[in-house]
């Protein structure tokens, strides 16, 4: 839930302990449409066009098995949806690991994609 992320940010960055209800009220005040969409589980699908294979590689981390100490990071070719690599580690939040995975893919694929979009903030 979005309030969990907001609550964690307030706690870690500013040292503030805020009740869930307060965070929910603030979120509803600042972004009522977003709160309604999230509660209805409405997703805004974004369409983007990729001219061909190896133009963009997409990457994402998954925490489904984090409670067992396992995280997964995967890369796909955005045009073909071909899985380029899946990496398993104890964390998928360390940029050094993600950079290492990327370099391994560049080596195994014999090159890098034409476009390299910025990483998530």
- Helical pair 20-30 and 2-14, crossing angle rounded to 10 deg: 110
DSSP letters for 87-106: EEES-S--HHHHHHHHHHHH
pTM: 0.58
CA distances from 116 to 50, 57, 95 (A): 13, 8, 16
Provide the token pair at 29.
């005040």
Separation between Cα atoms, residue 50 and residue 117, nearest integer Å: 12
Give the pLDDT score at 108. Answer: 93
Give the pLDDT score at 38. Answer: 78
The list of the chain residues with pLDDT below 50 reads 1, 121
Element housing 8 (H / E)? helix 2-14
Residue of 46, 72, 53, 51 whose CA lies nearest to 61 = 72
Give the pLDDT score at 39. Answer: 77
Separation between Cα atoms, residue 116 and residue 59, nearest integer Å: 11
């Amino acid at each position: 839930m979005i309030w969990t992320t907001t609550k964690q940010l307030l706690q870690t960055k500013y040292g503030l302990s805020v009740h869930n209800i307060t965070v929910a009220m603030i979120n509803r005040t600042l972004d009522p449409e977003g709160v309604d969409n999230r509660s209805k589980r409405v997703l805004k699908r974004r369409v983007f066009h990729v001219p061909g294979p190896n133009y963009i590689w997409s990457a994402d981390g998954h925490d489904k098995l984090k409670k067992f100490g396992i995280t997964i990071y995967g890369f796909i070719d955005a045009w073909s949806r071909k899985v380029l690599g899946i990496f398993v580690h104890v964390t998928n939040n360390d940029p050094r690991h993600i950079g290492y995975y990327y370099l391994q893919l560049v080596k195994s694929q014999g090159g890098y994609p034409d476009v390299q979009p910025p990483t998530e903030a």
